[in-house]
Amino acid sequence: MSLDEFGSILKKLRTVAGLSQDDVAKKLAISRQSISKWELGISLPDIIYLVPLTKILDCEIEDLLQIKRKDVDNMNDNIKILARKNIDREEYEVLKKIYGNRWLDCSICFINTSYYNDDFFVLGYLNNKVISALHITKHPEQNDFYLISDLGFKEGYESNDLASSMIDSVLTILKDLNCIKVGAFVDKNYKEVFENFGFIKSSDDYEFGNDKKCTSCIDPYYEMNIEQDYYCEEINEENAGIVSKVIMTKKYKHSKDVPDYFKPTLYMFKQNLLRENKFENEKVYVILNGKIVCGYIKMFYEEDKNLYLRIDLREESLFNEAVKVAIDTAKVFTNKIKDEILIENIVFYVNDNLLLKEEFDFYRKALKENNFITEDDIKFVFKFD
């Protein structure tokens, strides 16, 4: 059995069982990324997982390991679903047929997908021919918010099963992009399909984005949240090197026009993080999502009953959920040292160390949403009861 064959069978059995990749991963006590790799044909599971898989999927071992028979006439067994950033001429012609009269309204966006912000397509292929498509748009102001729109099928291939496979694949892709919230303009024919995945109707008249770049549609607007795996771990030699590289890359990129801005070397920055973590009153943690390093948090306390906190995220990880996890870590640390020193407040300064205006705005909004208060938009304080 090939990797692709096993992946196709596993995904079909999981979908029939009504389980997400997260559901299966939690039952096996492994990462969701492992399930994704099995289904994408990147790797095969260790033999120790086969029997547990059959119990989770309510199937026989023969069902899981079967080689697809030539007489099986199931279209979904042979469909591949791929994310596509650049649309070639052949795909372009099929998309025109799929979208029909809507094409004139969307053609500029479709033609220029490769240049159009972070937009891309997810296409379904049968025998290397496009038979289904949908469009993914990233929110212009929120890195963790994406929109699904224009779910469509080539004539003769419309089905709820294919729609489910498309949406399932999209949610997997978006989770890997650190997406927290997903919006969708939902055609009435596939309302039940989206609802089965947990989408809830939000509005009949919605604009996704802002005045300069927004997307609207006559279809009702739905939303759902994606649970991400953010966590913090104490800094060490390995993760200090990674977080230093991503943060210093950002600083060098955006500090060119800042007069007299001191830019430490990568080695200096790494050693500074490691050194500070050795003091009793200071801690440095790395923020991760799965194995992706999102940034770091630094905290220290003094005799003034304040715990001073700094959160520095990479540009691609400016997410409220990452800030929440960082603040929760600071609260845990405060509780841990409460017998040694009384901490009444957590203090975060939004100051000139943040080079980007977008970062100023992001941290201010995120801190307020996590119950910090401020009088001057610079000093933000969380008060313990």
Q: Where in the chain is the domain with CATH 1.10.260.40?
A: 1-73
Q: For 217-281, where are the alpha helices, taking DSSP H only?
A: 237-254, 266-276
C-alpha–C-alpha distance, residues 168 and 20, integer Å = 8
Residue 104 clears pLDDT 50, i.e. is over it: no
Asked whether 377 and 364 are in contact (CB, 8 A), the reply is yes
pLDDT digit string, tens, across residues 212-255:
667 778 889 999 988 777 889 999 888 888 888 888 888 777 77
pLDDT number for residue 106: 55
State yes or no: pLDDT of 332 exceeds 90. yes
Q: Work out the pLDDT band at 375, boundaries 50, 70, 90.
A: very high
pLDDT at residue 136 greater than cutoff 60: yes
Say if CB 294 and CB 311 are below 8 A apart.
Answer: no
Q: Cα(228)–Cα(312) distance, rounded to whole angstroms? A: 19
User: Torsion over CA of 334, 336, 339 and 342, rounded to 10 degrees?
Assistant: 0
Q: Alpha-carbon distance 315 to 190, whole Å?
A: 35
Higher pLDDT, 102 or 291: 291
Q: What is the C-alpha end-to-end distance of the chain, expressed in Å?
A: 60
Q: What is the pLDDT at residue 232? A: 92
Q: Is pLDDT larger for residue 34 or for residue 67?
A: 34
pLDDT in the model for residue 102: 59
Q: Which of 66-80, 254-268, 303-317 has the highest mean pLDDT?
A: 303-317
Element (H, E) at 25: helix 21-28
pLDDT of residue 370: 94
The third-level CATH classification (topology) of the domain covering 230-383 is: Aminopeptidase (3.40.630)
Does the pLDDT at position 313 exceed 80?
yes
Q: If you average pLDDT over residues 155-176, what whole number do you get? A: 87
**CB crowding 135-163: b at 16 or more within 10 Å, else e:** bbbbbbebbbbbbbbbbbbbeebeeeebb
**Fold (CATH) for 77-227:** Aminopeptidase (3.40.630)
Contacts 24+ apart (CB under 8 A), 191-194: 191/220, 192/160, 193/160, 193/163, 193/164, 193/167, 194/167, 194/222
Residue 262: is its pLDDT beyond 70? no
The CATH architecture one would assign to domain 1-73 is Orthogonal Bundle (1.10)
- What pLDDT is stored for residue 151 in this prediction? 92
Percent share of the chain, pLDDT over 90: 28
Is pLDDT above 60 for 63?
A: yes
More confident residue, 210 or 296: 296
Mean pLDDT of the chain: 83
At residue 111, the pLDDT reads 52
Beta carbons of 45 and 53 less than 8 angstroms apart: yes
Q: pLDDT grade, residue 67 (50/70/90)?
A: very low
- Checking if the pLDDT of 185 tops 60, the result is yes
- Beta-sheet pairing, 306-313 with 345-349: parallel
| Cα atoms found within 13 Å of the Cα of residue 176, Cβ hemisphere only | 15
Instruction: List every span in the chain annotated with CATH 3.40.630.30.
Output: 77-227, 230-383
Task: State whether residue 84 is helix, strand or coil.
Answer: strand
| Percentages of the chain per state (helix, strand, coil), in multiples of 5 | 45, 25, 35
Give the confidence band of 1 by pLDDT, cuts at 50, 70, 90: low
Give one DSSP letter per residue of 138-178, joined into a string.
Answer: E-SS-TTEEEEEEEEE-TT---HHHHHHHHHHHHHHHHHTT
